[in-house]
Structure 1
Amino acid sequence: MKADELVAVSTSLGGDFKSIEPHLVRLEKHLVLRTYLVGHQLSEVDTKIWLAIKTNRAAVSFVKKGTYTNLARWFTYIEQVHPEIQAEVKAADEQRRAKVAAASKAGASYSLALQDVEKGVVTRFLPEPSGYLHIGHAKAALLSDYFAHQAYDGKLRLRLDDTNPSKEKEEFQDAIVEDLALMGVKPDFVSYTSDYFDHLYDTCLKLINEGHAYADDTDVETMRDERMKGIASKRRGRTVEENLDIFQQMKDATEEGLKNCIRVKISVDNPNKAMRDPVIYRCNNVDPHHRTGRKWNIYPTYDLACPVVDSLEGVTHALRSTEYTDRNPQFEWFLDTLKLRKVHMWDFARMNFIRTFLSKRKLAKLVDTGRVWGWDDPRMPTIRGIRRRGMTIPALRDFILKQGPSRNVVVMDWTSFWAANKKEIDPVVPRHTAVSVKDAVKVVVMGDEAPAEPFTSDKPKHPKNPDVGMKKMAFSKELILDQADVKLFANDEEITLMQWGNAHVRAIPAADPIDQITVELNLKGDVRSTSKKVTWLSTQGQQLVKAELWEFDYLLTKDKLEEEDDLEKFLNPTTAVMEEAWCDEGVKELKKDDIIQLERRGYYRVDAGVDEGDKKGTIILFAIPTGKANK
């Protein structure tokens, strides 16, 4: 055997007894007169193959039985003479355990005891391109990525489950790929269920020919009622010939064919309703498929495509949310009946948040009816929505991975979600100042310490992090303050003008609203002695920037929307409020997606900079929840 052939063998030692035995036979013959596989000392090929055998229980058991004497001699020799190879095995194992332990310490247990991991781990993420990824998809993607690339040295497959042309678009398909990249999820392979339409068609023919499937023209309501009551369809007894003929008519989209679907013959009255003759093929001759066009008038359902393609693609561990738990026996039935390679499954609890729904059908309705600005609306629970509202990717990943793969279903408040984000942004985002346009109060500064002329001074953008940089701050005799602050002042009270110093309040009018006050600077005053510390802006010495400050609320008025609830009855009538404000000149430098803190107001993400978007000259800022308020 040549070196490249030996390397190929090392990659093939990840299966069961049956699949690895031919490779062991080849190695046995190769080692008849050799101490090492290549050359006269430990080579990279020896190391790779020894590790491949050592980390596969099936392979190491086979070798240690002594059936192949030369292979056993070589394996034992390497183990005894080269302790460094053992250290490599130990280091890899310790590294994997450390990652699992770190995740557990962070708040989640990842000790799932996944089966047969020594044979290799291939996970998959299987979204349908019928909408944009939401927070629930993020959990599925990040967990599958974690087990493939961190817990084990495995592979992650992304498969777009495009079997329903009436809902799916290329737009959604591309957005899914982009959003995964944004989250740092890098699949090793990308495929589409539509890649397997020919194979799935042949699979359906096989099921019909073997008497496991039948054509059914029962109307939807009657079929649903019969399945609920455990009543057999009148079409269940059709002959193989009849079923094949109708399946062909479905493919040809004839009048008779379009009345039918194909169901598998599993059970009529199984207590698990997922086992009651599920539909595996449906007609659709109206909508062209975004990848295959008009080639097909029939499409496989998820129930058939998922187990078949998982097995074909080499998926070893399919992680999916607990809403699919009832379908696990059905998944196994297809693999057993079709004699396909087994796939291990693990169910985890989906992420549920109060006053939020994750149904793509309902989310699409909000988009289509104009209730929101689009799939990336900051009120939407999509990845793009929460990103647009100000969630950072590191905080998103950290929060989801801390939830772990537990099966315990809980409904979470958004508080902890946004609190995790605040921890990420607070130490690094620059501080700026804003004063309401509508409620701005003119302030005249007097006294010996009042500046004769406007001036600017360098101030830190972040009081505790000098690495954030410096900004120019303007000072003058003319300021503006917020009405809400001024209304709380008493005449002659000492206040603190933040980042300047103390001042005594003079001449507050009794009017409501207050339009102007006077203050007398007292820069020697002790800022620790004042109870009111207020933000302000100089109207001289800088060019103030107009800003739109947006606040968002929940889309729903009800904590948990039930399946039977009428969405329209529970939609929050007011979910977005905008306030116009003046900001300091420094915000001119900000660009889309920058995050800042407006002193005493909160954190904001820049949706459009001064020179960006439709409103030139105005900066658009979206308020970022901090976890203190349930928004």
Structure 2
Amino acid sequence: MTSESKPAHFLQNIIREDLAEGRVSRLATRFPPEPNGYLHIGHAKSICLNFGLAEEFGGVCNLRFDDTNPAKEEEEYVDSIKRDVTWLGFRWAGDIKYTSDYFDQLHDWALHLIREGKAYVCDLSPEDARHYRGTLKEPGKNSPYRDRSVDENLELFEKMKNGEFEEGQCSLRAKIDMAAPNINLRDPVIYRIKKMAHHQTGGKWCIYPSYDFAHGQSDAIEGISHSICTLEFEDHRPLYDWFIENLPVPAQPRQYEFARLNLNYTVVSKRKLKQLVDEGLVDGWDDPRMPTLSGQRRRGVTPAAIRNFCEMIGVTRSDSVVDVGMLDYSIRDDLDKNAPRAMCVLEPLKVTLKNYPEGKREVLSAPGHPVRDDLPARELPFTGTVYIEKADFREEANKKYKRLVLGKKVRLRNAYVIQAEDVVKNDAGEIVEVICSVDLDTLGENPADGVKPKGVIHWVSADENLDCEVRLYDRLFDDPAPDAGGKNFLEHVNPDNLQVLSGCKAEIGLAKAEPEKGYQFERQGYFCRDSHYGSADKPVFNRTIGLRDSWAKEQNK
């Protein structure tokens, strides 16, 4: 089903009605990540949704960094997020926005709440404040500092701003309702002391607004019409609305929630992903095993595959877990249609063609893609010695084995039919070379020579090839819900998530392969050149995904 023929989801219906009824004159959305980690596959759904809706309805979408916590934020994360959004194919409206751009205005609005008697400086320790807050079943109780005068609160807040108190000594809280059924309305903290420099504002501030206080007001400053969040913010919506209603903001944005993307066999908590990085269980945030967008990009996943996947899973208000096989399907489908073909032998076995003319060298031609004419043909050097996969030869085999067997014939893909005649073994009895004869009248896939080999195998020239390392990545976790129900997710790391193969031999044309550009290694899967490791004469190739879902097959055995 195409996107044009799919039924509209609930947010499209809301926006269409708001525009038709004149409640908004122009759609304005935003993607507001906190710069405290790299974006992951779950963020892709929000990116595609917010930017996609803006494109669909002729509106705008801002990229804003909700940078209210200098303790966890870094410029590295800012840069990575900008790269990821651009890579996915989206462009934000105007300049990049930062919540820190609005710190002066947010501070003035905090003063407004104090003057209106709707905010107060509280000296409760964080532990005592949690105790006073109550529980989901029991109401909270008022802070003993709740009834301070406006003048006293203004004076104390100024001292907070000037750095005269230590971290945790006091905070500014909104005065709402300590008995509210929604615990988020029980006098939430709106400013806290953090004596540390900020990646954007330097040392100007030692007090910082809370996310809940800054988020909605930033939306209002930017004229956002539809503030689209995931369902975990649903209980925060009354607080979002309270601030909008009680401050002189220039716009009245509305918050709407949708179900976040939950994938099985995957962990997307930034804290847990950072733990994997910090403990050296992966090779950084962009490790190809990570669900981060930078990791997926380094692995060879295309932005089109990610966007198609987000379109496939749809937008609802019901939480569910998506089978990671749907993502695999989208990746495989895109690469099958677009990835150039190549050959690479992962475990080389030497084959000598005893009757091939000595010193002869040919350049054979192979299609760049089975159906795409815009991908150029490949040139394959051919001499009397080639490499095939060790697994593609047996001295003896049953009729189901369709590869090379002593006394039997196979076709070298895009080349000749050969027949195995003899083997050479080392002192340990291992086969190190196969002696074959070649039928020089069988060039091409379908020659009119009547020869019917049992199968077709891939190969590379033993004289002209590219020595490379191949990394076979698999799922990072071997449990469908590695962090559910209080599990220690580190105990469910798949021990076979990476296999490194050295001494692989690829066709020589792959020397020009660009990092992160996908190729189908025929009969092997989809691969890309790694952007970090390897050299010009010995690259590293990462497996993006297999030709079929071997994981599901293993799980069903």
Q: Report the TM range for the smaller structure's normalisation.
A: 0.7 to 0.9
1:570 is matched with 492
Residue 349 of structure 2, aligned match among 410, 417, 441: 441
1:622 is matched with 542
Closer/same/farther in 2, CA of residues 463 and 338 from structure 1, 3 Å limit: closer
2:417 counterpart of 1:495 = no
Residue 366 of structure 2, aligned match among 459, 467, 473: 459
SS of residue matched to 1:112: helix
CA–CA distance in 2 between the matches of 1:513 and 1:106?
58
Deviation for aligned residue 1:320: 0.9
Deviation for aligned residue 1:508: 4.4
1:186 is matched with 91
2:123 is matched with 217
Closer/same/farther in 2, CA of residues 567 and 102 from structure 1, 3 Å limit: closer
1:558 is matched with 479
2:488 counterpart of 1:586 = no
Q: Structure 1 vs Structure 2: percent identity of aligned residues?
A: 31
Deviation for aligned residue 1:571: 3.2
1:35-184 pair list within 5 angstroms: 103=3, 105=5, 109=9, 111-114=12-15, 116-117=18-19, 118=22, 119-150=25-56, 152-184=57-89
Structure 1 stretches lacking a partner, 5+ long: 1-100
SS of residue matched to 1:143: helix
CA–CA distance in 2 between the matches of 1:269 and 1:629?
55
Deviation for aligned residue 1:480: 2.0
2:210 counterpart of 1:310 = no
Residue 161 of structure 2, aligned match among 236, 251, 258: 251
Give the greater-gyration-radius structure (CA): 1
CA–CA distance in 2 between the matches of 1:514 and 1:292?
67
Q: Contact between 2:300 and 2:517, CA under 8 Å: does it hold in 1?
A: no
**TM (normalized to structure 1)?**
0.77
Q: Which amino acid in the other structure matches residue 70 of structure 2?
A: P
Which has the higher mean CA deviation after the structures are superposed, 207-216 or 390-399?
207-216
Q: Which amino acid in the other structure matches residue 515 of structure 1?
A: V
Q: Contact between 2:161 and 2:206, CA under 8 Å: does it hold in 1?
A: yes
Residues 329-358 of structure 1 deviation map (CA, whole Å, 9 limit, x = unaligned):
111111122254421222111111112222
2:465 counterpart of 1:544 = yes
Closer/same/farther in 2, CA of residues 533 and 347 from structure 1, 3 Å limit: same
1:513 is matched with 430
Residues 506-539 of structure 1 deviation map (CA, whole Å, 9 limit, x = unaligned):
2247875311222222455879944432112222
Structure 2 stretches lacking a partner, 5+ long: 398-403, 553-557
Closer/same/farther in 2, CA of residues 573 and 259 from structure 1, 3 Å limit: farther
Q: Which amino acid in the other structure matches residue 458 of structure 2?
A: T
2:351 counterpart of 1:351 = no
Which has the higher mean CA deviation after the structures are superposed, 570-579 or 313-322?
570-579
CA–CA distance in 1 between the matches of 2:324 and 2:152?
55
Task: Give the number of the structure whose residues are more often strand, by fraction.
Answer: 2
Deviation for aligned residue 1:236: 5.0
Residue-pair matches, total: 521
Q: Contact between 1:215 and 1:235, CA under 8 Å: does it hold in 2?
A: no
Deviation for aligned residue 1:225: 4.2
Residue 337 of structure 2, aligned match among 427, 439, 462: 427
Q: Contact between 1:213 and 1:264, CA under 8 Å: does it hold in 2?
A: yes
SS of residue matched to 1:294: coil
SS of residue matched to 1:266: coil
Closer/same/farther in 2, CA of residues 346 and 605 from structure 1, 3 Å limit: same
Deviation for aligned residue 1:126: 0.9
Deviation for aligned residue 1:178: 2.5
CA–CA distance in 2 between the matches of 1:563 and 1:207?
41
CA–CA distance in 1 between the matches of 2:79 and 2:522?
39
CA–CA distance in 1 between the matches of 2:311 and 2:405?
51
2:270 is matched with 360
Residues 27-57 of structure 1 deviation map (CA, whole Å, 9 limit, x = unaligned):
xxxxxxxxxxxxxxxxxxxxxxxxxxxxxxx
Residues 531-584 of structure 1 deviation map (CA, whole Å, 9 limit, x = unaligned):
4321122223xx221111111223333322137443433333453221120112
Which has the higher mean CA deviation after the structures are superposed, 498-507 or 378-387?
498-507
Residues 207-249 of structure 1 deviation map (CA, whole Å, 9 limit, x = unaligned):
2222222223333344334432432143353313443333223
2:529 is matched with 606
Deviation for aligned residue 1:107: 7.6
2:210 counterpart of 1:301 = yes
SS of residue matched to 1:179: helix
Q: Contact between 2:364 and 2:414, CA under 8 Å: does it hold in 1?
A: no
SS of residue matched to 1:132: coil
Deviation for aligned residue 1:375: 1.9
Residues 461-503 of structure 1 deviation map (CA, whole Å, 9 limit, x = unaligned):
2233332112221222222222111135443122222222323
Q: Contact between 1:450 and 1:521, CA under 8 Å: does it hold in 2?
A: no
Closer/same/farther in 2, CA of residues 175 and 275 from structure 1, 3 Å limit: same
Structure number with greater CO (CA < 8 Å, separation at least 6) is 2
Q: Contact between 1:433 and 1:536, CA under 8 Å: does it hold in 2?
A: yes
Q: Contact between 1:435 and 1:537, CA under 8 Å: does it hold in 2?
A: yes
Q: Contact between 2:517 and 2:529, CA under 8 Å: does it hold in 1?
A: yes
Deviation for aligned residue 1:155: 1.7
Q: Contact between 1:415 and 1:629, CA under 8 Å: does it hold in 2?
A: no
CA RMSD of aligned residues (A): 2.7
Deviation for aligned residue 1:204: 1.4
Closer/same/farther in 2, CA of residues 501 and 592 from structure 1, 3 Å limit: same
**TM (normalized to structure 2)?**
0.86
Q: Contact between 2:33 and 2:64, CA under 8 Å: does it hold in 1?
A: yes
Residue 596 of structure 1, aligned match among 513, 519, 537: 519
Q: Contact between 2:9 and 2:315, CA under 8 Å: does it hold in 1?
A: yes
Which has the higher mean CA deviation after the structures are superposed, 458-467 or 352-361?
458-467
SS of residue matched to 1:116: helix
1:400-411 pair list within 5 angstroms: 400-411=310-321
1:333 is matched with 242
Q: Contact between 1:143 and 1:401, CA under 8 Å: does it hold in 2?
A: no
